[in-house]
Structure 1
């Protein structure tokens, strides 16, 4: 009865949230608004439902990769990478030693919990696990020991030694590395997620639109670091966290994607950039937008034409990536096709797109790295999966006559696969015009100056 009540509550909550926010997401050119996500208690029910749905696909995943079992062994503070995608919403660490045994739900284990789970600090887990192995007699057992993929290599050396010592040669000789099991498990989104991910993208845009405005930025006074910390404080006010510190930069010919902002005082005429993402409901966003600080002291009311053309060129690169990013192709194949088409269209730039979801840089195929612009070993050889969110991250070079300089136009938006007809679409839309920072704005009070 209690499970039924939870299920009814979940369905009602899901339907209500969708009706409240779903339609707004279809019009990305409208101003973004801060969305209210479910309470933490409500989120826990939703997240556990998503986890249960994903776990239900484990037997099918094992069969796909030709194994009969999947074994994860971990200790508190020495978690397997996969742990964060299989835990319940109210678990924050695997206590003591935690062993998880996934099976193909056949033969003697049919109908038993999947995974079988032990939490132990006495050593009794090994006796009980050996009994299960003798009963089930799997011919091969996947373990996470891959040296190239984080989502297939989370078994700590000490835990591997414990497995060898306590399970013996008979069973450890049947252990095999199958990294794609973990990769595909983490990469797969489930039904019901998209509407909440849309809300998260809406929040992300709302943060950017407020940050890149006269409410936050006063030319010749505000610094890029001021704006970064405004993001951090504002996210906390919205009950959000982040997976990376926001990076705000003044774009110059010398500036390049990196792990920090440029630490500049923001002035009129500056071209600004932000790279950040929010974390909520077990998911992450990753977004890059650009803004222009109007030279209001000179009566300027719009960005120079050359800057607009640079943004359009970056938008064209997004089109190219989504057009070639077909499920089943490898990341390197997509990258190569995109670079060839860019060359044919006279576009110079770089692509470094990646999966996103459970993690900011999540499991699955990548298309380029900033330091590997043409071919990525291992990660680039994975296949594009349709049931994965992707961050389309890139920049286009463009010569701006008004400045007599070539700049990188850096943008990033998250996308999802719709179907074979519509292909990939951006979750909320994409930036097609600059955020314009107009100071002073009549009737607008600068929140940073008020705080100081």
Structure 2
């Protein structure tokens, strides 16, 4: 249901919710989306990878780098490896050395990257010969101490490089973490269709989990629901990058790395934080549900809970309105906190890039333990053509409970090149999932009967 004008005005009498935030709440229930066959997926993934690799020369020129050298061994991979490998590769064999170049001079027209797979040491004289022909002035190594996507060179590999390349070439090496950050963060247009399918499947998982099909008040535990997610994902041929976290929300509940261990009962406010992984992409969502007190004739959630969700929705608007390419994460965070204060909303923002990884490369906008300023990662600049998880919570007093609760939401957004704004990939939660215990379940936790939509 699109948020009503009345609700929006109650939240902010002077600001309207932007009409460009399309598809805020998809009409009808989400459906499980069938992905291409694994063979087709591999071809798609490799085409995306090739499109991204083609931009490497421009990226090197942007940072005045002539060569980017990556060396790794099996099970000691550079972080960047997972974004440049073939779809059918699961580890770099033996020692795998990659040399990206700016496609100029003696290397013009050569493969980019040049690649060696070797366990005999033959790579080193060949690499030295290539460097002598190319004569790069600045050679980037992934040695950053703060950014994972610029610090994937293992110490042992660095020592081997120092021994084999010698002082002449090592003096030309530099640390430039933005190479890895920009390469991993930048999306290609063809991904969005599939990412939207993954988002809809994520929603479909939440809608089924937060229903009487899975939850029986007084019997089902939060851990039962977590493991239901895990089993169901296997049936859908997707995996996850973090174990699902299902919680019963209380005034003491705080975002963390685990759910709660509760038996779910009528009147509980539930929360889930999880995402799925498929086709080299990751989703990350947080939704909330209410278990109706059907034994007391309740047919809808208390108004106080609905109001809390509306406040969290307004915070999502604020984040999307303030995010601009070129701003630092901390600048966006400050602007959001200032606007929240002006509108009388209390809460916290802790949004992050997403894509190749659940917590992917780029600027973060707050952390749960660093609510007003984040060193290093918060000082990075927001990049366009990337995906973000808009993650946050709003405090809201619930008179029906005489409690102040955190209303925790998260949805994924993309940069729309046409409108030059951030839009949600699939939608956002604007009404609580309702669990009606009077409806007879048609599936069980032990042996679910699931149907994947064609």
Q: TM-score, normalised by structure 2?
A: 0.93
Segments of structure 1 that go 5 or more residues without pairing to the other structure are: 1-23
Taking the aligned partners of 2:94 and 2:423, their CA distance within structure 1 comes to: 43
> Match of 1:401?
399
Query: 51, 54, 65: which is aligned to 1:53?
Result: 51
> Match of 1:447?
444
Q: Is the 8 A contact 1:248 1:272 kept in 2?
A: yes
3-state DSSP of counterpart to 1:259: coil
Taking the aligned partners of 2:164 and 2:107, their CA distance within structure 1 comes to: 22
Structure 1's 449 and 150: CA in aligned 2 closer, same or farther, altered over 3 A?
Answer: closer
| Paired residue total | 428
Taking the aligned partners of 2:446 and 2:303, their CA distance within structure 1 comes to: 32
Q: Is the 8 A contact 1:143 1:177 kept in 2?
A: yes
Query: 360, 370, 373: which is aligned to 1:372?
Result: 370
Taking the aligned partners of 1:271 and 1:417, their CA distance within structure 2 comes to: 32
3-state DSSP of counterpart to 1:222: coil
> Match of 2:132?
134
3-state DSSP of counterpart to 2:89: coil
| 1:291 equivalent in alignment to 2:289 | yes
**For residues 75-90 of structure 1, what are the structure 2 equivalents within 5 Å?**
75-90=73-88
Structure 1's 329 and 318: CA in aligned 2 closer, same or farther, altered over 3 A?
Answer: same
3-state DSSP of counterpart to 2:438: coil
Taking the aligned partners of 2:189 and 2:416, their CA distance within structure 1 comes to: 12
Taking the aligned partners of 2:228 and 2:447, their CA distance within structure 1 comes to: 12
3-state DSSP of counterpart to 1:448: coil
Taking the aligned partners of 1:161 and 1:429, their CA distance within structure 2 comes to: 48
> Match of 1:167?
165
Q: Is the 8 A contact 1:25 1:202 kept in 2?
A: no
- The one-character-per-residue Cα deviations of 1:247-288 (angstroms, maximum 9, x if unpaired) are 000000011111111110000000000000000000000000
| 1:432 equivalent in alignment to 2:436 | no
> Match of 1:337?
335
Pairwise CA distance, 1:30: 1.6
3-state DSSP of counterpart to 1:335: helix
Taking the aligned partners of 1:182 and 1:222, their CA distance within structure 2 comes to: 44
- The one-character-per-residue Cα deviations of 1:68-91 (angstroms, maximum 9, x if unpaired) are 010000001000000000000000
Segments of structure 2 that go 5 or more residues without pairing to the other structure are: 1-21, 449-454
- The one-character-per-residue Cα deviations of 1:371-394 (angstroms, maximum 9, x if unpaired) are 000000110011111111000000
3-state DSSP of counterpart to 2:69: strand
Structure 1's 378 and 153: CA in aligned 2 closer, same or farther, altered over 3 A?
Answer: same
Q: Is the 8 A contact 1:365 1:380 kept in 2?
A: yes
- The one-character-per-residue Cα deviations of 1:279-325 (angstroms, maximum 9, x if unpaired) are 00000000000000000000100000000000000000000000000
Pairwise CA distance, 1:419: 3.0
Q: Is the 8 A contact 1:98 1:118 kept in 2?
A: yes
Q: TM-score, normalised by structure 1?
A: 0.93
- The one-character-per-residue Cα deviations of 1:329-387 (angstroms, maximum 9, x if unpaired) are 00000000000000111111000000000000000000000000000011001111111
3-state DSSP of counterpart to 2:445: helix
Query: 204, 213, 218: which is aligned to 2:216?
Result: 218
> Match of 1:36?
34
Q: Larger helix proportion, structure 1 or 2?
A: 1
Taking the aligned partners of 1:41 and 1:307, their CA distance within structure 2 comes to: 46
Structure 1 vs Structure 2 CA RMSD? 1.4
> Match of 1:16?
none
> Match of 1:270?
268
3-state DSSP of counterpart to 1:264: coil
Higher RCO (CA-CA < 8 Å; seq separation 6+):
2
| 1:209 equivalent in alignment to 2:207 | yes
